[in-house]
Amino acid sequence: MICYFNHLLAPFVGVRFPIAKPFVLRAQNPMASDLSSDNSVFRGVSSSPPIRRRDIVFVVNPRGANGRTGKEWKKLLPYLQSRLGSDCNICESLTSGPSHAIDITREAIREGVHAVIAVGGDGTLHEVVNGFFWDGKPVAHQKIEAVHSTALGLIPLGTGSDFARTLGWKNDPREAIERIAKGVRSRIDVGVISREGEGSCYFINVADIHLSAKAGYYASRYKKFGNLCYVIGALQAFMGHRNQDLRIKVNEGEWQTCSQVTALCVGNAKYFGGGMKITPNADPRSGSFEVVILQDFKWYDFLLKLHKLYNGTHLSVKNVTSRNVYTIEVDDISGSGSIFVQSDGEHLGFLPRKLSILPAAIEMIC
């Protein structure tokens, strides 16, 4: 069975969808009779209590990868239904704009669904992960009878799919459906980024500061060029770029100065920027971040060492350092307020920021 979450109303204020029932809710043309207590609207449904089926919500960004995600998803639906339809209520929810996936995920978790599956790239996954949290705490089921936690899943169909690379997954949606069918779960870490006076933001892949974050900011404007957007973004970011002295505090220790920082990357996973293995020793099940700092890099350093950044052998390069941390605070010594910060390829603003690991925060279908 396929049901449809209302994908036009966001945020879901005071709305509860009884997705455990066999029903169809079409957001484009909702009818009162669909939600009626009259069982006649459920044609062919026995009045006896149905066997409990797993409710799985698929959060799809139809505009992802220049519309390719939506097209691929439509092609995938028949196979998905044939593989999972006998055991699961397949609940499709199409996002309508930024942050919509966060709202969908929170509502689904409160309803006690078995799993929320991000369908798309790292941007969609980033929003779904943030939907697992609210006001600094994990979102909880509101149903007393819920005996399991909602799992996170992924069908990579976007531009980047960098987190899938860390787990060794191919960019194969049918293979992803097989993982969902098997339902094997493993707990993974999540990073949280905070700033005094602001709400927290969560990330599952890599957070980065300064040049790489600026490149990601510009790259987001050129997604129509596919992975080439990262190259274009980097070239634009280099224009007028200056290395900066930063203050860092590791594991609640003393402040120390890092001079002439080009980029500072905090990895819960290994890859960012369309396949660059920037934090090669990061592991989302380790309980710690890998922090890689590039200092005093010039534009030609990137050209000469780009292959090392992509294959993860750059840690032996001069002016590159790596360490494992549980928390790291980063501030701009100059106080310019212009040092970019991003996480999972999403622009967050500027320094200062504190980044902390949340060990085993989410169960993931893997």
Q: Which residues are catalytic?
A: 122
Give the gyration radius of the chain's Cα atoms.
22
SS3 string, the chain, reads CEEECCCCCCCCCCCCCCCCCCCCCCCCCCCHHHHCCCHHHCCCCCCCCCCCCEEEEEEECCCHHHHHHHHHHHHHHHHHHHHHCCCEEEEEEECCCCCHHHHHHHHHHHCCCCEEEEEECHHHHHHHHHHCEECCEECCCCCCCCCCCCEEEEEECCCCCHHHHHCCCCCCHHHHHHHHHHCCEEEEEEEEEECCCCCCEEECCEEEEEHHHHHHHHHHHHHHHCCHHHHHHHHHHHCCCCCEEEEEEECCCCEEEEEEEEEEEEECCCCECCCECCCCCCCCCCCCEEEEEEECCCHHHHHHHHHHHHHCCHHHCCCEEEEEECEEEEEECCCCCCCEEEECCEEEEECCEEEEEEEEEEEEEC
d(CA 274, CA 21): 40
Pair of tokens at residue 34: 């669909």
Dihedral class, residue 257 (left if φ above 0, else alpha if ψ from -120 to 50, else beta): beta
CA distances from 34 to 11, 18, 43 (A): 21, 11, 11
Closest CA to 59 of 122, 116, 132: 116
